């Protein structure tokens, strides 16, 4: 009986208000991926420190694609998504990112096969993130987020949460 009353009392509490009073910091893991990627891509574009390659309007994002992306800011979005991926999975390398961003290749009558994403796009995004100091090469292979990168991504995550409320 007391357990049921306690459960009812807990469910009636405003969970978000309780979380905001007990937790002092917000990390990237607390924010929805789509909202964070858009916010971080806007931050990358606003700072002007990301060097967009000249070929960005001509290139496809993988062999499984027929056309280049329609969005003019797609490179910023891809770089933001890669930064989030490296934050969540330390040690992620180029091959793993190519598999993640790849798709299925249409082979006509034959069954579809997994096709890798473009390595040059991912490499260019990683080089830009390394130049900003957000990502570095890991000694065990792959890339990992730096302390400055973690602070920057968590700061944008906090701004995203506050903008949502």
Whole-model pTM?
A: 0.82
Pull the structure tokens for residue 106: 């249409």
Task: Tell me the pLDDT of the chain (165 aa) as tens digits.
Answer: 444 444 444 444 434 443 444 456 888 898 999 999 999 999 999 999 999 999 999 999 888 888 888 988 999 999 999 999 999 999 999 999 999 999 999 989 999 999 999 999 999 999 999 999 999 999 999 999 999 999 999 999 999 988 875
Q: Using H for helix, E for strand and C for coil, what is the string for 100-146? A: HHCEEECCCCCCCEEECECHHHHHHHHHHHHHHCCEEECCCCCEEEC
Pull the structure tokens for residue 114: 């997994």
């Amino acid at each position: 009986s007391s357990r049921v009353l306690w459960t009812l009392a807990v469910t009636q509490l405003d969970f978000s208000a309780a979380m905001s009073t007990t937790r002092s910091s917000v990390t990237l893991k607390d924010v929805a991926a789509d909202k964070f990627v858009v916010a971080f891509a806007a931050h990358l574009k606003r700072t002007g420190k990301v060097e967009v390659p000249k070929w960005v309007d001509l290139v496809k994002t993988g062999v499984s694609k027929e056309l280049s992306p329609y969005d003019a800011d797609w490179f910023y979005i891809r770089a933001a998504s890669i930064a989030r991926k490296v934050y969540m999975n330390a040690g992620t390398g180029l091959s793993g990112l190519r598999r993640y961003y790849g798709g299925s290749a249409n082979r006509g009558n034959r069954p579809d096969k997994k096709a890798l994403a473009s390595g040059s796009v991912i490499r260019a995004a990683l080089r830009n993130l390394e130049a900003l100091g957000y990502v570095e090469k890991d000694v065990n292979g792959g890339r990992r987020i730096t302390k400055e990168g973690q602070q920057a991504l968590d700061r944008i995550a906090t701004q995203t949460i506050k903008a949502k409320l």
